[in-house]
Amino acid sequence: MGYEHNVDACFADRIGPGGIARAGFERLRAEAGDALGRLAALQGSGRMALFDLPATRADLPVLQAEAARFRADFDRVIVLGTGGSSLGAMALTAIGVPDGPELIFLDNFEPYGLDRALAGDLSRTGFIAISKSGGTAETVAQFLACIAAAEGRTGGRSMSRTFLCIAGPGDSPMRRIARTHAIPVMDHPPEIGGRYSVFTLVGMLPGLIGGYDVAALRAGAAEVLSQAIGDPRSPPVVGAALQVAAAQQRGIRASVLMPYESRLDQFSRWFCQLWAESLGKDGMGTLPVRALGPVDQHSQLQLYLEGPPDKLFTLILSDQRGQGPVISPQATGGDPALAYLAGHTLGDVAEAEGRATAATLIARGRPTRVIRIERVDEFTLGSLFMHFMVETILAAHLMAVDPFDQPAVEEGKKRTRDYLLQAQAERERDAG
Ligand SMILES: O=P(O)(O)OC[C@H]1O[C@](O)(CO)[C@@H](O)[C@@H]1O
């Protein structure tokens, strides 16, 4: 597997009263294991398509061909899409810099970023607009703005070769815009929710354009899934029971994810959407918190150690020993205050800091799970994606909420539309 999962320091028998009791946890773990068994029975039926994706390879040739075209034609690819339509690919392409065109994700809707991106040379810039619903205001508005900006600036390339759209099947504003401009549209699988879509073309295509090994990503996911299905004590089952037991028994209100790897910071953003939108309903759910080590030791850690004991910590640690520049003993100038650094690499220091934070949290009786990874690569990331998806789905089961919907976000979207219509009406009234 791409990781080791250690939850010992979450239990009262290890960390004292801040920890959870084994008995209640074991009941939840058994229930989560049963739920996974029922979901696994749907494999291959199309009713749990997420579980079929890791073993799928048939879609890759078409995506590889499309990616090859983008790689040949463009120096920059601007990806439009928000939430589940971008976070997975952003997490994947944050793990390294293989090669290929620069990928620019305009996931946060704001004029400044779009203006800057569009101010560049558009003759070697491709665009991919992604929206499962095909109607998300931010993505549709960006799509229209990019089409308008690209017209006459594509270096003679047709719109159909400059833009690509990924949208759910059926009529939608995005599809209508694409049709007007003869922009090709690929289908977003309707049976996979946006925040679970990283293993579909939504994650795979940007990944392939960036030169990432997407088969390894799926292989990592496949391994976690098959192990979880075969073993009711597997990490995602244990993780779900842990999160729910912590909330039920210890009033835990927040789930902090703290990788000690900048390359996994985007992964934490992906996790936050997954956890929040899947669980936050009917008064249930815990607050997902994105933290990054070591930098947040100098920002959040004081609160984590001495603030309210309402957080469950998940640290993702990798063995960075031996990596990076060496601090030579000569460079420390023989200063005794710096003797502890002499001869170490920067990776040695980062590794010691991650270990120290885990030990300090544990010493303070704060429930702390440690996920150890060997390296940050596609296989490991695929493992972590699948781990947290299964953990989230099973936690939802234990909380009796639906992990696949997000009914409340519609309210804000409707208000946005109303405000804009109102402003339009006022403008027209003032004008005439
Ligand atoms: O892919 P779409 O339909 O544009 O949705 C983007 C995101 O917006 C949400 O619906 C929330 O507003 C998310 O669930 C989703 O990932």
pLDDT at residue 230, rounded to an integer? 84
Q: How far is the CA of 193 from the centre of ligand 1 (A)?
A: 9
Q: Give the pLDDT of residue 355.
A: 97
Q: Which residues of the chain have pLDDT under 70?
A: none
Predicted pLDDT at 413: 86
Beta partners for residue 2, in sequence order: none
Distance CA(356)–CA(6), nearest Å, equals: 16
Distance CA 102, CA 159 (A): 20
pLDDT value for 44: 87
Q: What is the mean pLDDT of the chain?
A: 96
What's the gap in Å between 196 CA and the centre of ligand 1?
11
Which candidate, 84, 32, 5, places its Cα nearest to that of 409?
Answer: 84
- Complex ipTM, two decimals? 0.98
Residue 181 annotated in active site:
no
User: For 21-30, how does the pLDDT look when each residue is reduced to its tens digit (9 = 90+)?
Assistant: 999 999 999 9
Q: What is the predicted pLDDT for the residue at 383?
A: 98
* Cβ atoms of 353 and 292 closer than 8 Å: no
How many angstroms separate the alpha carbon of residue 83 from the centre of ligand 1? 5
In this predicted model, what pLDDT tens digit does every residue of 265-294 receive, in sequence order? 999 999 999 999 999 999 999 999 999 999
Cβ–ligand 1 contact at 188 (below 6 Å): no
Find the distance separating the first CA and the last CA of the chain, reported in whole Å.
67
Which position among 277, 351, 378, 391 bears the catalytic label? 277
281 is catalytic: no
Indicate which residue of 298, 410, 411, 428 is catalytic.
298
**Ligand 1 close to Cβ of residue 132 (< 6 A):** yes
**Rounded Cα distance, 250 and 11, in Å:** 11
Ligand 1 centroid distance, CA of 233 (Å): 33
User: Which secondary-structure segment (H or E) carries 126?
Assistant: strand 125-131
Residue 414 falls in the annotated catalytic set: no
Q: Is the CB of 85 under 6 A from ligand 1?
A: yes
CB neighbour burial string for 49-78, b if at least 16 within 10 angstroms, e if fewer: bbbbbbeeeeebeebeebbeebbebbebbb
Probe target for ligand 1 pocket from 79, 80, 85, with the most ligand atoms within 8 Å of CB: 85
Nearest Cα residue to atom 4 of ligand 1: 131
Looking at residue 65, its pLDDT comes to: 98
